[in-house]
Chain A
Amino acid sequence: MGGAHGDGLLVAADSPVHSLPAQCKVVALLVGVAGVVATPPRQWWAFVVYAVLVGAVVAVARVPVPTVVRRSVVEAPFVVFALLLPFIATGPRTEVLGLSLSESGLLGAWNLLAKATLGVVAAIVLAATTTPRDLLGGLDRLRMPRLLVAILGFMIRYAGVVAGDLQRMRVARESRAFRGGHLRHLRVEAAGVGSLFVRSYERGERVHQAMVARGFTGRMPALATAGASGRQWLVAGALPAVAVAVALSAWVVA
C-alpha cells in the first residue's frame, strides 16, 4: 500500500489535471469509461481516438509513462483471460501464424484488452493526480453515502498500520529462525493471520472508543472540500464528451 512516504498513489506534480477538483475527475472518469465500454469493438478507429485522448491526458498530467506501465500490472488477470479467449471460444475459426483460432474469440479478446487497458490507464491517471483525501472529499461531494466514504477513509488510514503489524509479526517469526513458504508451515501462517485479525479487531474497538470520547454519535462530519466551478466542470467534461461523441458516431457508422 502507499508506503510510509507516498500519499496514496499520488504522483506529485503541478498540472492542470492535478488542480481539477476530485469530483470532476471522478465523474469524467466514469462517463468516459462508460463511453469506451459502449463502443462496438469492430470500430477500430474509435479506439485509436480513445488511445490518443488518454495518452494526451497522461502527458498533460505529467505522469511518467514507466509509472503508468508499472501500475497497469493490475490488469494482468484480464490479459491472461483475453489471451485464452481465442483458443477456447467456439464458432468459425481462422488461421493465424499456423494456429487455428476462433474468430469471435479474437474479437472478444481485442474487445476486452482494449477497453480494460483504456479504463485502467484512465483510473491510474485519476489516482496519480488526486490525493486520497481529495478523492474522499470529492466522493462526499458527489453524495456518496457518508458511511461508505468513512469506510474508504479508514481503509486508507489503517492499511499501512495493519501492513506494519504484519511486517513486525513476520520479522519476529523469522528472528526465531522460522522459514515460511513450505506447505507444512501453513499452520503457523494461519495462526499469524488469525492473530492479525484479532489485533485489527481490537484496534477497531480502541479507535471506536477514541471516537466516542470525542463526541462521535454515529455520523461522520463532512470533509471540508471546495466546490467545483463551472469552468472546471467544462474542462473535466471535455474528454468524456469527446469519448461519448465518438462512441455514438461509432454506433451510427456500425
Chain B
Amino acid sequence: MSAPSIEVRGLAFAYPDGRQALYGVDLHIHRGERVALLGPNGAGKTTLVLHLNGILGTVAGGAGTGSVAVGGLALTAENLVEVRRRVGLVFQDPDDQLFMPTVADDVAFGPSNLGVSGADLDRRVHAALSAVGMVDAADRPPHHLSFGQRRRVAVATVLVMEPEILVLDEPSSNLDPASRRELADILTGLDTTLMMVTHDLPYALQLCPRAVLLDEGRVVADGATRDLLADADLMAAHRLELPYGFDPMSVPGAR
C-alpha cells in the first residue's frame, strides 16, 4: 500500500501571543480520498491547513510539537520546497492568490519557482487552465474576471504544480449557486486527493465521502460525512448547523 497523502501525528501549536490553537491533532488521509474539514469558527482549521505545507509550525520557526508527512515525505526544513509542491493550497480570497499581470503568468508562477520553463511550462499551464475551463482567460488580467472565475484560476495555479493533495479553504464562499456547482463539477472531476475546509455542509456532503470535525484544536469526530451531519447531538455540541430544511439522509452524497 502506498504512503498516505497526509499523515499528521500529535500536532500541537501555540501562536506567538500564547494562544494555543492545536492540542495534539492526528489525521490520516489516503491517496485519492476526498475529506471535508469541518468545525466552528476558531476551531483551528486554518491553523491546521497552514501546518500542512510548513507556513506555520516548527519548520517556520514556531513553537509546537508533532509531525507532518506528505506522501511519505516528512515535513522538515530540507524538504520544505518539495512538501510545498505536494500540498496545493487554495486560499479563501482569490485576490490574495492571484497577483501576476495575467492569468497565464499567475498559473506559471508556481512551476517557474520549481525550475520548469519553455514549452514544458506552456503545456502545464494550458493543461491546468483547461482542467478548470479557463483557457480562454489565459491572457486576461485576474482583476477582470468574475469572483467565480478567479476562484477557478486559483485552483489552476495550484493544480499546475501537480500536487499530491489539493487543500481548499472555504471553496464555496462568496460564490453564486451556478459558480458553486461549476466548481463542484471541476473538483469531482479531479483524481487528486482533496481536503476542503468548509462551513457549507451540503457542499461537504456532495463532494466528500469522509469528514473530520475539528473543535478547540482537537479532532472530535472522523467518519462518513452523512453520519456526522445526521448526528444531531454531535452537531449541536460543536456549533454546527445544517441549512434550514436540509436533511442529510434524504439527498445523494459523495461516494
Contacts and interface: CB of A to CB of B under 8 A. Distances in A.
B96 A203 contact: yes
B109 interface: yes
B55 A213 contact: yes
A215 B110 contact: yes
B101 A132 contact: yes
Looking at chain B's contact residues, the main secondary structure is helix
B84 A136 contact: no
B91 A215 contact: no
B89 A207 contact: no
Nearest to B93: A206
Given A213-B84, A214-B158, A215-B85, A156 B101 contact: yes
Nearest to A217: B113
B99 A157 contact: yes
A133 interface: yes
Interface string A151-189: 001101110110000000000000000000000000000
B181 interface: no
A222 B100 CA distance: 11
B142 interface: yes
Interface residues of B, number: 32
Contacts of A161: 95, 143
- Most chain B beta-carbon neighbours within 10 Å: one of A156, A215, A223, A224: A215
B144 A213 contact: no
B141 interface: yes
A215 B113 contact: yes
Contacts of A206: 91, 93, 96
Nearest to A157: B99
B97 interface: yes
B5 interface: no
Looking at chain A's contact residues, the main secondary structure is helix
Nearest to B105: A223
- Most chain A beta-carbon neighbours within 10 Å: one of B55, B84, B101: B101
Given A213-B53, A215-B113, A207 B96 contact: yes
Interface in B28-85: 50, 53, 55, 81, 84-85
Given A213-B55, A216-B113, A207 B101 contact: no
Nearest to B96: A206
A203 to B, nearest CB: 6
A219 B161 CA distance: 17
Interface string B113-150: 11000000000000000000000000001111000000
A222 B95 CA distance: 21
Contacts of B188: none
B158 A157 contact: no
A210 B105 contact: no
Contacts of A212: 55, 84
Interface string B155-180: 00110010000000000000000000
B201 to A, nearest CB: 26
Contacts of B85: 215
B108 interface: yes
Interface of A: 4-5, 7, 132-133, 136, 153-154, 156-158, 160-161, 203, 206-207, 209-217, 219, 221-224
Given A133-B102, A133-B141, A210-B97, 18 more contacts: A132-B101, A133-B101, A136-B101, A158-B95, A207-B99, A209-B96, A212-B55, A213-B53, A213-B84, A214-B109, A214-B110, A214-B113, A214-B158, A215-B84, A215-B110, A215-B113, A215-B161, A219-B113
5 contacts: A5-B144, A7-B141, A209-B96, A215-B161, A224-B105
